[in-house]
Amino acid sequence: MVIRKGNLAETLSEYLIQRIANIKNIFVMYHSQVTELAGDDYLQQIKITNSEEGTDKWYDTSKLFICIGGKPNTEWAAETAICRDKNGYLYTGSDLAGLSQYQQCWELDRPPYHLETSVPGSFAAGDVRFSSVKRVASAVGEGAMAVTQVHQYLSQL
């Protein structure tokens, strides 16, 4: 496992950390990241850079799974009327009900669509949403739903 930070505790539960530690064929590389991929018709090697040691090393592999973490990148929304929870996840649809910030900025007669944020016409899909399923297939499906809801919103203008 290639980890950019110096530990797993910031992003994983303790039971998962223990499971990883107890599996003999998992080696965790801290302060590291994949910086290059190599191969002809398929992946053959990855280059891993360790920022703490200042080293680069190539590893033979034909597979790469990427997990970019569970923290939403929503700092941009802090300067808007889009409602977020304490972890930065965006509230959408019925999850907005009862939030005072939502009630102050929502000006339409209808409730927000399922993927619509507290700003009419602004939609969110996938892991960035509060109470999302956190699976790729769900995020893809929500993305398709969001397109439909955008068309629905635009047809009412």
Structural domain for 148, as ranges: 75-155
Q: Do 44 and 100 belong together in one domain?
A: no
Is 64 found in the same domain as 84?
Answer: no
The residue from 37, 69, 101 where one domain ends is 69
pLDDT at 71 over 90: no
pLDDT of residue 18: 92
pLDDT band at 68 (very low <50, low <70, confident <90, very high): low
Q: Do residues 87 and 36 both lie within one domain? A: no
User: Quick one: 62 and 81 in the same domain?
Assistant: no
Domain end (from 26, 53, 69):
69
State phi, psi for 46 to the nearest 5 degrees. Answer: -130, 145
CB 34 within 8 A of CB 2: yes
Phi then psi for residue 34, to 5 deg, are -75, 125
- Which among 36, 39, 48, 57 has a CA at the least distance from the CA of 1? 48
Which residues, listed in sequence order, are joined to residue 59 by a DSSP beta bridge?
46
* Cβ-contact 54, 69 below 8 angstroms: no
Give yes or no: residues 80 and 39 share one domain.
Answer: no
Contacts of 139 (CB under 8 A, 6+ apart): 125, 126, 127, 132
Q: Which of 69, 94, 124 is the last residue of a domain?
A: 69
Mean of the per-residue pLDDT values for the chain? 91
Could you tell me the pTM of the whole model?
A: 0.62
E strand residue ranges, the chain: 32-38, 45-50, 55-60
Q: Are residues 147 and 84 in the same domain?
A: yes
CA distance 89 to 99: 14
Long-range contacts of 16-25 (CB under 8 A, 24+ apart): none
Rg of the chain taking only CA atoms, in angstroms: 20
Write out pLDDT tens, residues 13-55.
788 889 999 999 999 999 999 999 999 999 999 999 999 999 9
Sign of CA dihedral 116, 122, 126, 132: negative
CATH for 130: 3.50.50.60
